[in-house]
Amino acid sequence: MQCRDVRELLDAFLGDQLLVETTNDVVRHLETCPACRGELEGRRALRARLQSAFDGAVELAPRPEFLKEIDARLRTEAASRMTRRSWLRSWGAAAAALVTAISGGLYARSALQRSRLAALARTAAGDHQNCAIKFNLAERPIPLEEAARRYDPAFASFTTLTAPTGLPNGPAELLERHSCVYDGRRFAHVVFRYAGHVVSLLVTGGNESIGSSPEMLPADGPVQVASFATGRHLVFVVSDLSAQDTSRFAQAMVGPVSQRLANG
Amino acid sequence: MMRETMRVTRARTPLVRGPLRRGNNNHTSGYSDDEWVTVSDESAWRAFETEALPHVDRLFRLALWLERDRAEAEDLVQETLTQALQSFHRFTSGTNCRAWLTTILQHVRSNRRRARNRAPVENAAIEERFAQTLAFVPPVPDHLTDEDVLGALRQIPETYQQVILLCDVQEMTYKEIASALNIPIGTVMSRLHRGRELLRVALGGSAASTAQTREMP
């Protein structure tokens, strides 16, 4: 190994980021090269100085009041989460009873279906926010294969779903596939990144009245929701892209999703 | 050559199942089934208090360095810790909690900047401008003060400051940095290389000017 090669690797050597064999090569060179040893010591001293300067800089220190405030806020947040969870458990049972009562015939069928669809759109938006963005689900996601065995065989068809092509803002990238539950609703969840944004494709069982072409639905918060139906399934595309881009993304997914569900 | 010979020797179980680091479909990485089922919220808080809160000081210093505004830094750290608390069941105990928190901080910061339509931290023009290896990289000066080092660091582009801080101060592995900044590991390595060269050039200037000041009557 020549001095030039060693110096290129010295920082990685200091950070313990080299292969064992490469580390041995560097060590062997250092044993016989005082100039590179000096260079190594200089870099080691610089790292140490940088760390101590950063940790010791008075102007970068947090205010003691801020540390107290943050501690108090986090404690409050933790306590409210405990309360919220127990409340949600009892609320969930009440909500289920209410939905059953409503489905008993209080409203006209079509109005009820639109209302259910809007509620499902909010649930899908909530799943996107809590699973894909904040990673804050109450129940751990499971693989699609397992969900297909236990809940809905059609979910297996999404194990091979790939990112859509031909989108106007460049290629989309597949990030993850799984099945998750939000607000009592189980979804097949495929996560993409497109134009720097996270996009969720959420599929769930349902026969609410909606067409096979994407339709924008109202959703709470900053996200857009496009939805279409295929067979006995509803498909939601959720993102914080513009409504137009979300709709285009959903449009690009109609063919692949419908084909998979039809074959599955 | 560097790409071929390097590996991450301190690689750990992935720390965060986040949209900005997902490269595979192993969505259960970082989960502990036992924690999901049996750990109560009270004990989760105690674990958070023990594992995460000791890192608040350094996390804040990094936030303030990057934001250059104390109020912004406080907001950023608060949002980071709130998200960390909400996602703490996904942290694998015994792994590098500071790296996990720093990754969340970088993602929160990136989302905030995007929401405000501010330019992303990564800047292709800067990459291009500094893409070439410098013709001469001076040796590390013998006598350096804390002010020299921090002043020199401030002189180089933020893209490079960031990777140097994450590597040398936060002690994150290349893989962890790549995940936190959502960039390929090769880009981390090249930014570190260029950044350190630029830092040494800047240090040469700082040290020379400090020495000159010392010699003045």
The pLDDT value given to residue A108: 46
Render pLDDT for A230-263 as a digit per residue (tens, 0 to 9).
Answer: 888 899 999 988 888 899 999 999 999 988 888 7
Helix (H) or strand (E) holding A50: helix A34-56
Q: How far is A39 from chain B (nearest CA, A)?
A: 7
Candidates B70, B87, B149; nearest CB to A136: B87
Check CB contact under 8 Å for A61 and B85. no
Q: A38: which chain B residues are within 8 Å (Cβ-Cβ)? A: 139
Q: A56: which chain B residues are within 8 Å (Cβ-Cβ)? A: 146
Size of interface A-B (CB pairs under 8 A): 161
Q: B12: which chain A residues are within 8 Å (Cβ-Cβ)? A: none
Render pLDDT for B141-150 as a digit per residue (tens, 0 to 9).
Answer: 767 788 889 9
Residue A98 located in a structural domain: no
Check CB contact under 8 Å for B61 and A132. no
Q: Which residue has the higher pLDDT, A121 or A95?
A: A121
Cα-atom radius of gyration of chain B, to the nearest Å?
A: 19
Candidates A55, A74, A133; nearest CB to B19: A133
The pLDDT value given to residue B32: 40
pLDDT at A110 over 80: no
Render pLDDT for B8-57 as a digit per residue (tens, 0 to 9).
Answer: 333 333 323 333 333 333 333 333 433 333 335 677 788 888 888 899 99
The pLDDT value given to residue B63: 95
pLDDT at B166 over 90: yes
| A150 neighbors A206 (Cβ within 8 angstroms) | no
The pLDDT value given to residue A102: 47
Render pLDDT for A182-237 as a digit per residue (tens, 0 to 9).
Answer: 877 899 999 999 988 899 999 998 776 677 888 888 766 678 999 998 888 899 99
Check CB contact under 8 Å for A198 and B17. no
Which 3-state string (H, E, C) describes A213-264?
CCEEECCCCCCEEEEEEECCEEEEEEECCCHHHHHHHHHHHHHHHHHHHHHC
Sequential DSSP letters for A118-179: HHHHHHHHHHIIIIIIS---SS--B-HHHHHHHT-GGGGGGGG-------TTS-EEEEEEEE
The pLDDT value given to residue B14: 31
| ipTM here | 0.71
Examine the domain organization and report whether A129 and A247 are in the same domain.
Answer: yes
Check CB contact under 8 Å for A19 and B60. no
Instruction: List the single range of A1-15, B28-42, B53-67, B159-173 with lowest mean pLDDT.
Output: B28-42
Q: How far is A233 from chain B (nearest CA, A)?
A: 23
The pLDDT value given to residue B47: 84
The pLDDT value given to residue B92: 80
Examine the domain organization and report whether A189 and A251 are in the same domain.
Answer: yes
Q: How many domains in chain A?
A: 2
Domain boundaries, chain B: 14-118, 122-217
The pLDDT value given to residue A196: 87
Instruction: Answer whether CATH 1.10.3720.10 is correct for domain B122-217.
Output: no
**How many angstroms separate the CA atoms of B184 and B174, rounded?**
9
Candidates B2, B7, B25; nearest CB to A9: B2
The pLDDT value given to residue B177: 92
Q: How far is A247 from chain B (nearest CA, A)?
A: 21
**How many angstroms separate the CA atoms of A109 and A230, rounded?**
20
Residue A97 located in a structural domain: no
Render pLDDT for B191-208 as a digit per residue (tens, 0 to 9).
Answer: 998 898 888 888 876 555
Dihedral pair phi/psi, residue B216, rounded to 5°: -70, 140
Q: Percent of chain B scored above 70 by pLDDT?
A: 63
Render pLDDT for A117-160 as a digit per residue (tens, 0 to 9).
Answer: 888 888 898 888 888 887 777 777 888 998 888 888 899 999 98
Residue A82 located in a structural domain: no
Render pLDDT for A71-80 as a digit per residue (tens, 0 to 9).
Answer: 888 888 777 7
> Averaged over B104-110, what is the pLDDT?
91
Per-range mean pLDDT, top range of B24-33, B57-66, B90-99? B57-66
Q: How far is A207 from chain B (nearest CA, A)?
A: 29
Domain endpoint, select from A23, A44, A59: A59
The pLDDT value given to residue B27: 34
Q: A134: which chain B residues are within 8 Å (Cβ-Cβ)? A: 83, 86-87
Range of the domain at A53: 3-59
Residue A207 located in a structural domain: yes
Candidates A17, A85, A133; nearest CB to B6: A17
| Amino acid letter, residue B120 | P
Check CB contact under 8 Å for A136 and B41. no
Domain endpoint, select from A20, A36, A59: A59
Examine the domain organization and report whether A133 and A240 are in the same domain.
Answer: yes
The pairing of strands A172-182 and A215-217 is: unpaired
> Averaged over B77-104, what is the pLDDT?
88
Architecture per CATH, domain B14-118, reads as: Orthogonal Bundle (1.10)
Q: Are B14-118 and B122-217 equal in CATH topology? A: no
Check CB contact under 8 Å for B5 and A22. yes
Ramachandran bin of A192, using left for φ above 0, alpha for ψ from -120 to 50, beta for the remaining angles: beta
Instruction: List the single range of A102-106, B52-56, B107-111, B178-182 with lowest mean pLDDT.
Output: A102-106
Examine the domain organization and report whether A123 and A236 are in the same domain.
Answer: yes
Instruction: List the single range of A52-56, A112-116, A209-213 with lowest mean pLDDT.
Output: A112-116
The pLDDT value given to residue B147: 86
Candidates A47, A135, A191; nearest CB to B168: A47
The pairing of strands A172-182 and A185-194 is: antiparallel
**Both structure tokens of A47:** 């790292």
CATH number of domain containing A251? 3.40.1000
> Averaged over A1-15, what is the pLDDT?
85
Candidates A19, A85, A132; nearest CB to B19: A132
> Averaged over A34-41, what is the pLDDT?
89
Examine the domain organization and report whether A163 and A227 are in the same domain.
Answer: yes
| A239 neighbors A246 (Cβ within 8 angstroms) | yes
Residue A259 located in a structural domain: yes
Examine the domain organization and report whether A127 and A51 are in the same domain.
Answer: no
Check CB contact under 8 Å for B27 and A60. no
